[in-house]
Chains A and B, each alone.
Chain A
Amino acid sequence: MLLHVSENKEVAKGIWEMHLSGDFPFENVQPGQFIHILIGSGREHVLRRPISIAAIEAEKETLVIVFRVVGEGTDWLAKRVEGDVLDVLGPLGTGFPLTTKQKILIVGGGIGVPPLYELIKRLWQQGNEIYCLLGFRNSDDVFWVEKFKEYGTVTTYTDDGSFGEKGLVTQRIAEDFLEKNWSNVYACGPVPMLKELKGIVANFSVEGYFSLEERMACGVGACYGCVCNNQRVCVEGPVFPMREVVL
């Protein structure tokens, strides 16, 4: 389907927030699902780019994606301006299952933060108590922290301490767990972060879901390019029950 760009702006160094509007099944989106975007005509860039849906603004018939420029495809996306049209497939994949009235821990790292925004919003709407840890490399990379604060208690970390606490998002989870007694954990971020988190929360009784990233081709489950533990990241994922994730 074709969506038009209603806004595209750089929100942190090399990180872009793009608003897409048009005829899209906004009401059916689960947080954590993604769209698969055609780059140019598709002749030079034959593979679409999978980008997670960061926010749905159904009343405005708009969805928001946040992406980091890492190569030619995302560079092309960053150059789109208001009124440009994108060829998009989606929503694709399996998102985060929601829950109600629980004590929730959300952990996001870098460009893994965006899909957690629609998630925190929905979890808040369902009456959950939410504690959120967001990690970035440094203050240049920080985005959307204020938006997350609308829905929960947020602590931010940077590697060098240039914004928020200094260190890793995972560094205090073990001790805080004893006090906060979280029942559910949701996370998206770099593999070392997820690995560390999985190790820590394994000691507690908690239901966890991780969203994974993998190089993808078809995005619809046909090519078996993006597998994790023999599951397709594009269909059975990108969100998997934490216990099934092999990192």
Chain B
Amino acid sequence: MQVDFAGIKLKNPVMPASGCFGYGKEYAKYYDLSELGAIIVKATTVSPRLGNPTPRVAEVCAGMLNSIGLANPGVDQVVKKELPWLRQFELPIIVNVAGDTVEDYCFVTEKLCQSGLVDAIELNVSCPNVEQGGMAFGVDAGVLAELTTAVKKVCSVPLIVKLSPNVSDIVQIAQAAEAAGADALSLINTLVGMKIDLMSRKPILARGVGGLSGPAIKSVAVRMVYQVYKAVKIPILGVGGITTGLDAIEFIMAGATAVSVGTANFTDPYACPRIIKEIKAYMEKEGIKDLSEIRGCAHVLS
């Protein structure tokens, strides 16, 4: 079950996805977080953010829309309160970083790295729920390369870039991030969606649009991991609609080194440990000793 992800040793390839697990406290009531391969905590910004007006969530068929808007207490609080608490568990801590400007991203990354409490940074260039920054950095290869280069200079831990699926050519974006120094890629963030309430005849979400996640996006995510795996050399963290161990295996066959689990935590608070067990059961049943045996195996010419 062990994997090496961009130099980080993971006891298993499963980690909760950013924004779906807070800072771990809530789910620590349900199980020992040390069971996880790693944790990716909520997007962190320079200053505290309250997020968007409610409603911020809506269910759609086999998925959900969210427009939380990066609500978080700001990097100082995260370093002072949240990360030291998380350190009691034996697991790598990855912090998702967001901002409005290149300077914001660099500032937060530097503070996190200086704290010595993080094992990797996940660059959020794909949040569809903010007016500035967020996805704007992830849909243009040139802009993304510039940001990645700048952050890489101040980042003393592995840098993972989380890509947006809301682009016409994911391969071009992925290659731009790799060329600019990304140590790994996270694919995919949410797809932009909308749900209209037939009673009010208006969008349900206060902000109109939100990010679609859950089983509904899994096949899009698998396809993007598959495409990008062929085009880059850096490892991929597969994310998008993973609900079972078999879903995770599908991502690994497409080329993912590790996976993260988002919406499934809401459906089942025990989703991550269950998925870990299901992967293990699959490996035993298929006689797989190391996940590298099946990584990328879906590629005809690999």
Contacts and interface: CB of A to CB of B under 8 A. Distances in A.
Contact of A46 (B50, B56, B71, B267): B267
A222 interface: yes
B70 to A, nearest CB: 9
Contact of B56 (A43, A48, A225): A225
Contacts of A38: 267-268
A51 to B, nearest CB: 15
Contacts of B27: 220, 222
Contact of B266 (A73, A223, A230): A223
A114 B21 CA distance: 31
A47 interface: yes
Interface stretch (A129-137, A143-151, A211-219): A211-219
A42 B268 contact: yes
Nearest to B72: A224
A46 B266 contact: yes
A73 B58 CA distance: 12
B20 A223 contact: yes
A53 B204 CA distance: 26
Contacts of B263: 46
A206 interface: no
B84 interface: no
A225 B64 CA distance: 11
Interface string A219-235: 11111111110100001
B64 A222 contact: no
A215 B62 contact: no
A46 B22 contact: no
B61 interface: yes
Given A222-B265, A223-B66, A224-B51, A47 B59 contact: yes
A221 B28 CA distance: 12
Contacts of B21: 222
Given A222-B20, A222-B22, A223-B20, A46 B63 contact: yes
Interface string B52-78: 001111110111101010010000000
Q: Which of B51, B56, B243 has most chain A Cβ within 10 Å?
A: B56
Given A42-B267, A44-B61, A227-B71, A221 B55 contact: no
Interface residues of A, number: 27
B203 interface: no
A47 B57 contact: yes
A89 interface: yes
A73 to B, nearest CB: 7
A221 B59 contact: no
| Residue of A48, A217, A226, A228 most packed against chain B (CB within 10 A) | A217
A247 B264 CA distance: 31
Contact of B26 (A44, A222, A227): A222
A195 interface: no
B267 A215 contact: no
A223 B57 contact: yes
A224 B71 contact: yes
A13 interface: no
A45 interface: yes
Contacts of B215: 43, 46
A225 B22 contact: no
Contact of A217 (B71, B243, B266): B266
Nearest to A234: B26
Interface string A42-71: 111111100000000000000000000000
Contacts of A89: 269
Nearest to B42: A224
B57 A46 contact: no
B214 interface: yes
Contacts of A44: 61-62
Interface of A: 38, 42-48, 73, 89, 214-228, 230, 235
Given A38-B267, A89-B269, 10 more contacts: A46-B63, A214-B54, A214-B55, A217-B66, A219-B266, A224-B51, A224-B68, A225-B56, A225-B66, A227-B50
18 contacts: A42-B268, A43-B62, A46-B59, A46-B64, A47-B57, A215-B57, A216-B57, A218-B266, A219-B266, A220-B29, A221-B22, A222-B27, A223-B19, A223-B22, A224-B56, A225-B68, A226-B54, A226-B57
